[in-house]
Amino acid sequence: MHLLYLDDSGSTGNASEDYFVLAGIALPENSIRWLSHKLDELAISINKDDPQSVEFHAAAIYNGKGPIWEQFHDRGRRRQIIKDVLCILDTANSEIRVFGCAVHKKSFPGIDPVEMAFEDVSGRFDLYLSRITSEEKRARGMIVIDKTSYENSIQKLVIKFRQEGNRWGNQLRNISEVPLFVDSKSSRIIQLADHIAYGIFRRYNANDLNYFNCIEARIDQADGKYHGLSHRQTYTSTCTCPACITRRV
């Protein structure tokens, strides 16, 4: 079983932000404990007396918000912590892949960016599972998402995609069940997904590559294309982000 953990970054209703991002990490189930342990070790280095009180939420860390992160007055130290979370992937299982979709909100007036992003990411994850399926064993998957107000709409979308297919006519044939929604406080992997989404958001919304560079090598790729990353926009045909440029090539 492969699990895709997802979280979002950016607000659908915030006019000062150009992008909404849904992104995260796909991993075989036997990698969950290792990754969680590594993040627990990092939490211990931050608060050895109560590491479970440390929730890795990238926007809060970046801005120094919350009872833990407001004590870190050094902005550089806080931003290094975000990188430390992401760089845990450097020594992780080689099967682990990053998936994400960045939606330029103004390019699609009247369209829900959450639904667009989820349709895109879930479809890419399903195609990835098809690609790694062998004659001996079919790869199956499940999606785990941070609890949000989008829960009901996403549940309905999954049922629709499994029965009728998405806009590309693909049914979610390899995803075993509707998404599981969990509290990020209880899942270190969701916290990692949060950082991945934030890294992609900063790359597109602020042209800040500091965090994106930590995860770029883990984005699902095949045949010279970034299959795991999608940049949904209509404002330019010459975007040089890796998702756009490899598709043009």
Note the pLDDT tens digit of each residue in 113-165. 998 999 999 999 999 999 988 767 788 899 999 887 677 778 777 777 777 76
Lookup: tokens for 96: 């682990």
Give the model's pLDDT for residue 247. Answer: 83
Q: Is the pLDDT of residue 85 over 70?
A: yes
Give the model's pLDDT for residue 134. Answer: 79
Domains of the chain: 2-248 (3.30.420.10)
Give the model's pLDDT for residue 224. Answer: 85
Question: Could you report the per-residue pLDDT of 25-80, keeping only the tens digit for each?
Answer: 999 999 999 999 999 999 999 999 999 999 999 999 999 999 999 999 999 999 99
- Record the pTM: 0.93
Taking the C-alpha atoms of residue 12 and residue 6, their distance in angstroms, rounded to an integer, is: 16
Give the model's pLDDT for residue 169. Answer: 63
Q: What are the C-alpha distances in Å from 181 to residues 59, 142, 154, 157?
A: 20, 11, 10, 14
Give the model's pLDDT for residue 184. Answer: 92
**Side chain identity at residue 114, one-letter code:** V
Give the model's pLDDT for residue 21. Answer: 97
| CB-based burial label for 48 (10 Å; 0-12, 13-18, 19+) | exposed
